[in-house]
Structure 1
Amino acid sequence: MSSAVFVRNSRRAFSVIGGGRRGTDALSGVHPVARRSIIDLSYSAHFMDFKGSSIPSSMKKLVVTKLSPNFREAVSLQTVPVPTPGDGDLLVRNRFVGINASDINYSAGRYDPSVKPPFDAGFEGIGEVVGLGLSASSHYTIGDTVAYFGSGAFAEYTVVPTKESVPVPSVKPEFLTLLVSGATAYIALKRLGDLAKGETVLVTAAAGGTGQFAVQFAKQAGCHVVGTCSSNEKAGFLKTVGCDRPINYTSEDLGRTLRKEYPRGIDVVYESVGGSVFELAVNSLATKGRLIVIGFISGYQSASGIPSIKGGTLPVKLLQKSASVRGFFLPHFPSDYREALGSMMQMFAKGKLVCEVDCGELSQEGRFTGLESVFRAVDYMYAGKNLGKVVVEVAPPSVSNSKL
């Protein structure tokens, strides 16, 4: 898919939410704030002080300067002027940004080979509104907290169209986990999983950013949940979020375990690994089983980005079981996004949804802090060390006193 289509579809997904405070009640579970009836004309100057501190004249951001699936090779840290928000835009001071497996697909130029560097990196962020345009001031004010899903998130400041912003009660990284990872699991299982109580669901990479949500939503649907992971620590975590049978594939043979313990097969597979794991999942499907492909991370670091599989017998295997393989790409489901995000935020507010965040506290070099640590965070995720969603803290809560 082209980067232009990817970004356009992402924006469509967020435009259905609508920007501003009118959506706060539905999306966050907090009391709505009355819409401002008077637009302060001073906003026409675009920049405003936030808690008495001025916005600096320059900032750091990550830019793709060379197409490569090697993130460190493709991306460079640059110092550039802080952008000015347009009439309907917000200037967001990023507090946290999310790391996604697809970040290296983007840096490799796989969404649109015709697009050449340089272009900005990063898909999702959360932070405070520190500047805004005149029209945007009818929906937001300085100090509001928002999350967003769009290009250019790996920066200290990002300009975000109002219609693409999501109001959140506070700048907690847990809210960031819902934008892509949570929404992918929620909508994919709801629209493509056709879950029924008592069915068996297999989630691969179950302790990762999106896997953790697939486990919880499948369990909420009354299913028996099996989850793959790479350590006993992750297996322990999976049990706490409702996984009935965690399988540590470093100490157990996944295929043998599935054949022995689930001889009638798996009804639904939520699959993000690809390659041999995909093949094993297909072989493990029950009659009328459904396999949902939400990614194939095992191949992203290769030149093609696609892990090889032995697909010659796939039609026969599907036919014999009346089974299906279904692909899911979040921007293709914009009409489902608002309900998904609202439902998840309500669940989180009520303590009914775990949003596990991994900021690298247990990594060798410590917590992921500052844009420079995005490189470490990407390596950390691809090494399979993360438990939950990998998140980088771009800036601490205090605001710089540097002046324009």
Structure 2
Amino acid sequence: MFASPLVANSTRKGLGLCAALGSALVSGPRRSIIDLSYSSHFMDFGGSAIPPSMKKLVVHALSPRFGDAVRVDTCPVPTPGDTDLLVRNRFVGINASDINYSAGRYDPSVKPPFDAGFEGIGEVVGLGLSASAHFAVGDPVAYFSDGAFAEYMVVPAKKSIRVPSVKPEFLTLLLSGATAHIALRRLGDLAAGKTVLVTAAAGGTGQFAVQFAKKAGCHVVGTCSSDEKAGFLKTIGCDRPVNYKAEDLAAVLRKEYPGGVDAVYESVGGTVFDLALNSLAAHGRLIVIGFISGYQSDLGVPPVRSAALPAKLLKKSASVRGFFLPHFLSDYREAMESMLRMCVRGALVCEVDRGDMAPGGRFVGLESVFRAVDYMYARKNIGKVVVEVAPTVDSKL
């Protein structure tokens, strides 16, 4: 038996993001509190009983090859503690760093098995008594927390964000949007009239970097791998999309931007990093948010010609700045509040790729996470890749 009660309904309180990741932004009607005993374990929600078991993705062997590292396991649906929410996932986000995680690169001390996935969105179907001070059953919530590739997820209330609805567009903000928002604001030193280069600009986070740089009044150059992606970039304000499969990026930068670029939002690594470094203007900033070209390698880090790095930076008074979102969580609340407001009023495009054009069709069910990861690494996606989770029992919301 469990000491804490399971609350089926509660009073909604306040606005804004909750605790460290923010408070709720959407208020609603008041609800009465019904204190249920954990002896019943699960409530009936929306006419559908929560099942005793669920599926989740678990890393069983360390490997940058996601399919080799991860498998689908069946386990009991977890029980929320006093300060937790039980969330029925509707969508989960795919990130390039999912295979860094499956390779054990973030914390070498953690050994398999461990749960995979970083972000999800769904509705609250159970919660502890203390958590009911801020959330209620039925609330649509999003979260950024390890182990998100699951049909149900226990999330601390303080890490949960109430969103206007369970739409995958809001999921795009949690990691992809927040990385671009905070990195450019804290490290980009953007100003009107400056030139910004965004690599992988049509991807999950690149799309936001393009938009935030434009909102700062910058001229934006964005790299991509197809004419279709270049067309998308134009729709979100990119001044100069460059399909690097059809054009020589180095030649474009030399000819059209002979004075260099003032800031680079860089996620590819390898030769692209080298080119970005060589293309910096005086006082230029190169922000490294990833090196996706090396993620699938057993070696991890792709080689760069960095022997002359000190000289290159010195003669331009330039800088290379690394950005890792967990180091900037003090900025997370403000970033999420700002982006949600922009998204709700239609001032921010949150492009979602659900795999409609992928081999095998739309990504539905946890098993399709494997296809979604491959699809993203094949550079086929436009916007953020998301998977629709299909729990064993669907609610009627």
- TM-score normalised by structure 2 residue count: 0.92
Q: Where do residues 110-121 of structure 1 align in structure 2 (5 Å cutoff)?
A: 110-121=105-116
Does residue 40 in structure 1 map to residue 34 in structure 2? yes
Aligned to 1:8: none
Question: Is contact 1:357-1:387 (8 Å) kept?
Answer: yes
**CA distance in structure 2 between the partners assigned to 1:137 and 1:397 by the alignment:** 26
Shift of 1:256: 0.7
**CA distance in structure 1 between the partners assigned to 2:176 and 2:226 by the alignment:** 21
**CA distance in structure 1 between the partners assigned to 2:108 and 2:192 by the alignment:** 44
Does residue 346 in structure 1 map to residue 341 in structure 2? yes
Aligned residue identity for 2:187: L
Question: Is contact 1:46-1:132 (8 Å) kept?
Answer: no
Give the helix-richer structure, 1 or 2: 1
Question: Is contact 2:49-2:393 (8 Å) kept?
Answer: no
- Cα deviation, 1:291-347, whole Å, max 9, x if unaligned, reads 000000000011121111111001100001000000001111122111110111111
Aligned to 2:4: none
**CA distance in structure 1 between the partners assigned to 2:392 and 2:201 by the alignment:** 31
**CA distance in structure 2 between the partners assigned to 1:14 and 1:124 by the alignment:** 16
Does residue 318 in structure 1 map to residue 319 in structure 2? no
Shift of 1:396: 7.5
Does residue 266 in structure 1 map to residue 261 in structure 2? yes
Question: Is contact 1:48-1:142 (8 Å) kept?
Answer: no
Residue of structure 2 aligned with 1:301, choices 275, 296, 299: 296
Aligned to 1:24: 24
**CA distance in structure 2 between the partners assigned to 1:132 and 1:48 by the alignment:** 10
Aligned to 2:238: 243
Would you identify which runs of 4 or more consecutive aligned residues in structure 1 move more than 4 Å?
Answer: 43-46
Q: Where do residues 157-306 of structure 1 align in structure 2 (5 Å cutoff)?
A: 157-306=152-301
- Cα deviation, 1:334-365, whole Å, max 9, x if unaligned, reads 22111110111111111110000001001121
Name the SS of the counterpart of 1:16 in structure 2.
Answer: helix
Question: Is contact 2:230-2:243 (8 Å) kept?
Answer: yes
Q: Structure 1 pair 81/396, CA: closer, same or farther in 2 (3 Å)?
A: closer
Aligned to 1:4: none
Aligned residue identity for 1:182: G
Shift of 1:399: 1.4
Question: Is contact 2:53-2:76 (8 Å) kept?
Answer: yes
Shift of 1:16: 2.0
Shift of 1:49: 1.6
Aligned residue identity for 2:35: L
Name the SS of the counterpart of 2:44 in structure 1.
Answer: coil
Shift of 1:135: 1.6
Question: Is contact 1:40-1:137 (8 Å) kept?
Answer: no
Name the stretch that deviates more: 237-246 or 389-398: 389-398
Aligned to 1:80: 75
Question: Is contact 1:272-1:296 (8 Å) kept?
Answer: yes
Shift of 1:43: 6.4
Shift of 1:34: 7.0
Shift of 1:400: 6.2
Question: Is contact 1:39-1:138 (8 Å) kept?
Answer: no
Name the SS of the counterpart of 2:45 in structure 1.
Answer: coil
- TM-score normalised by structure 1 residue count: 0.91
Aligned residue identity for 2:24: T
Question: Is contact 1:46-1:131 (8 Å) kept?
Answer: no
Question: Is contact 2:47-2:395 (8 Å) kept?
Answer: no
**CA distance in structure 1 between the partners assigned to 2:18 and 2:251 by the alignment:** 43
Percentage of matched positions with identical amino acids: 74
Task: Report how many residues are paired.
Answer: 379
Aligned to 1:125: 120
